């Protein structure tokens, strides 16, 4: 992957700010790839080059400024919109998941174009990626996963690593990885609580949420961005077709975990959630986003609306991809 030196211009800084905002939204919404958003904004190759330079301690003003603009814009989008997006996912689950399916499938052409022609290595990689993602999705659906406070911290750190991959890999959704890992709603809730505590000047809550959610996720993101960017360059250089094939498999496998017709069901005494055996009092204090989900039979109208939402998601991601291609955003990647 060869990239030109970063030269700061006003158009580049404006595109970097836009790309950062879109990347922040992408990390909030399962199914949208932050890397794809940066491609569409025309700053992907500059972003990759800047990350690689800084992580190799080749410091210069231009890459530092570009990364500051992208990351700052992304953080602004996350802080301002985390609560609203979380509420939609919790209370309009089947509608949002239908949208996510379309957004996920819409990212597939990005990686397919990078992989052509699909040789044996690419097909094997796609099979490996599909099995990995489908197994992860099914495990999360069945309720398996980390339990307890210490495991939650580890899960949030790993979730930060997963989210960071979407900043680097076009077509791969960090938000979706957080969703199937069971960390999506807790992270968005934590961000929303942090924002509310900041507005209220509640230092105790700031410290609590900061240590419990923000710090482990933040460390995971920083480590992930540094590691994934350099590993990606190495993997693409040595095993290009297999690596791109894995990305294709991850995208296709992601759809397995996005079956939309599931709804939260109020738990009953004796159920175990987050390692705790519930009683009547603890059930009353439990948030809806922590309720278990079960499959339901959709009506004809719900099926129709679901297909419509899938079409919208597919159209949105496809449109972003076309804008990126027409502006030459994917060149050099």
The answer to whether position 98 is within a domain reads yes
Cis bond before residue 117 (omega within 30° of 0)? yes
Is residue 212 within 8 Å of 190, Cβ to Cβ? yes
154 occurs within a structural domain: yes
Does any domain span residue 42? no
304 assigned to some structural domain: yes
Q: How confident is the model at residue 52 (pLDDT cuts 50, 70, 90)?
A: confident
How many domains in the chain?
1
Q: What is the mean pLDDT of residues 252-269?
A: 81
- pLDDT tens for 263-278 read 888 888 887 765 567 7
Judge whether 86 lies within some domain. yes
pLDDT at 160: 82
Domain membership flag for residue 43:
no
Element (H, E) at 325: helix 300-326
Structural domain harbouring 231? 82-261+297-315
Whether residue 332 lies inside any domain: the answer is no
Q: Of residues 115 and 185, which shows the higher confidence score?
A: 115
Whether residue 267 lies inside any domain: the answer is no
How do residues 105-148 score in pLDDT, each as one tens digit?
A: 877 887 788 788 889 999 999 999 898 878 766 765 554 444 33
* pLDDT, tens digit, 9 for 90 and up, residues 233-243: 778 778 889 98
- Structural tokens at position 164: 């960071």
Nearest CA-CA partner of 33 in 94, 98, 89, 110:
110
């Amino acid at each position: 992957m060869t990239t030109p030196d970063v030269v700061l211009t006003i158009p580049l800084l404006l595109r970097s700010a836009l790309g950062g905002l879109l990347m922040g939204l992408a990390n909030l919404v399962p199914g949208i790839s932050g890397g794809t958003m940066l491609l569409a904004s025309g700053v992907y190759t500059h972003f990759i080059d800047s990350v690689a330079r800084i992580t190799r301690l080749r410091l210069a003003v231009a890459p530092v400024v570009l990364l500051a603009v992208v990351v700052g814009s992304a953080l602004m989008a996350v802080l301002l919109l985390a609560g609203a997006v979380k509420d939609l996912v919790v209370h309009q689950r089947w509608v949002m998941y239908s949208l996510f399916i379309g957004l996920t499938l819409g990212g597939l052409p990005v990686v397919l174009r990078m992989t052509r022609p699909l040789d044996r290595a690419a097909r094997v990689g796609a099979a490996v990626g599909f099995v990995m993602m489908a197994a992860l999705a099914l495990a999360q659906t069945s309720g398996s996963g980390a339990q307890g406070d210490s495991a939650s911290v580890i899960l949030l750190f790993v979730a930060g690593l997963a989210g960071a991959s979407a900043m680097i890999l076009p077509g791969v959704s960090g938000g979706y990885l957080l969703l199937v890992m069971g960390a999506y709603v807790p992270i968005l809730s934590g961000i929303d609580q942090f924002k509310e505590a900041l507005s209220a000047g509640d230092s105790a809550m700031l410290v609590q949420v900061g240590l419990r959610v923000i710090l482990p996720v933040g460390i995971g993101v920083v480590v992930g961005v540094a590691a994934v960017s350099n590993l990606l360059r190495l993997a693409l250089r040595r095993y290009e077709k297999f690596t791109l094939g894995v990305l294709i498999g991850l995208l296709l496998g992601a759809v397995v975990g996005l079956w939309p017709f599931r709804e939260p069901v109020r738990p009953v005494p004796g159920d175990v959630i987050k390692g705790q055996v519930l009683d009547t009092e603890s059930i009353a204090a439990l948030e809806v986003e922590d309720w278990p989900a079960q499959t339901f039979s959709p009506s004809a109208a719900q099926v129709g609306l679901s297909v419509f939402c899938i079409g919208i998601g597919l159209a949105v991601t496809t449109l972003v991809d076309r804008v990126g291609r027409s502006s030459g955003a994917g060149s050099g990647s």
